[in-house]
Structure 1
Amino acid sequence: MLSNTEKELIVHIWEMLPVAEDIGSEALLRMFTAFPKTKTYFNHLDISPRSQHLRCHGKKIIQALAEGARNITTLPTTLAHLSRFHAYQLRIHPTNFKLFNYCILVTLACNMGDNFTPVAHAAIDKFLSAFSAVLAEKFR
């Protein structure tokens, strides 16, 4: 699915990102704005712009993505605990992962500028699809 060059590029992109909580919270806020039904999973949190809850959760997401990028060859094993957690405890529908992927791509494009080349876009899109597929694996 991903070439060795794409894997190296993905790791490089996640390592060079600015503050994780900024990217993650911006992507979450973008998702909540563009896809309001996704807010239902976050009723217990303050999801207003720049809120501590949003920043904290955004940071967790970006850190999980970075961990996945570093362990891309063992993604199912690396993300097994997150897959179970999202499926059995949180019960987040897999469609939401795809929606969030779109928001991450837009957020990265806005923050990376010229560094978000078409090649980088394609590699990150493939990675996010693989990441989401693993997270959705346990959902039934």
Structure 2
Amino acid sequence: MLSARERAHVTQVWDLIAGHEAHVGAELLLRLFTVYPSTKIYFRHLGTCPDEAQLQSHGQRMLAAVGVAVQRMDDLRAALSPLADLHAQVLRVDPANFPLLIQCFQVVLASHLQDEFTVEVQAAWDKFLTGVAVVLTEKYR
């Protein structure tokens, strides 16, 4: 899926995010809700303040799943299978939301990393996150 260089870009960015998952995740969710208000339907219980504990908690869980995917890039299907089952069979999240989340995630990364989020790094993250989204939507079939 990813070349060695792309893997290095993904890992490098993840190393910068590590330790800030709650904050970055909350920002990601708020951006998603602002830009795509229809996605808030799945998160009615979450507020709109970046410091809200529930928002940060869910943001941290989301980014923890991304962290698992980063660690297991070679086996995304196995790594994300429980999460894919949850979203497809229990939560029944519209799979069209995953590409929206990817877009918002990249904007958040770019806003924090600025010059470090080069075209090559962005392309690697886009490819990686698209792979994650594909795995998460496979259970819908």
Q: Which TM class, normalised by the smaller chain length?
A: over 0.9
Q: Partners in 2 of 1:46 and 1:89 — Cα distance?
A: 23
Aligned CA RMSD, in angstroms, stands at: 1.2
- What residue in structure 1 maps to residue 20 of structure 2? 19
Q: Partners in 2 of 1:73 and 1:4 — Cα distance?
A: 11
Which amino acid letter does the alignment assign opposite residue 75 of structure 1?
A: L
Q: Partners in 2 of 1:105 and 1:84 — Cα distance?
A: 25
Q: Partners in 2 of 1:6 and 1:36 — Cα distance?
A: 32
- What residue in structure 2 maps to residue 3 of structure 1? 3
Paired residues in the alignment total 140
Identity %: 38
Return the TM-score normalized by structure 1: 0.95
Q: Partners in 2 of 1:61 and 1:45 — Cα distance?
A: 14
Q: Give the gaps of 5 or more residues in structure 2.
A: none
Which amino acid letter does the alignment assign opposite residue 108 of structure 2?
A: T
Q: Partners in 2 of 1:55 and 1:47 — Cα distance?
A: 11
Query: Structure 1 residue 46: deviation in Å?
Result: 2.9
Query: Structure 1 residue 47: deviation in Å?
Result: 4.0
Structure 1 residue 88 corresponds to structure 2 residue 93: no
Report if aligned partners of 1:24, 1:62 keep a CA contact under 8 Å in 2.
Answer: yes
> Which deviations, in whole Å up to 9, do the C-alpha atoms of 1:74-119 show, x marking residues without a partner?
0000000000001011100111111010000000000011110111
Q: Give the gaps of 5 or more residues in structure 1.
A: none
Q: Partners in 2 of 1:47 and 1:135 — Cα distance?
A: 26
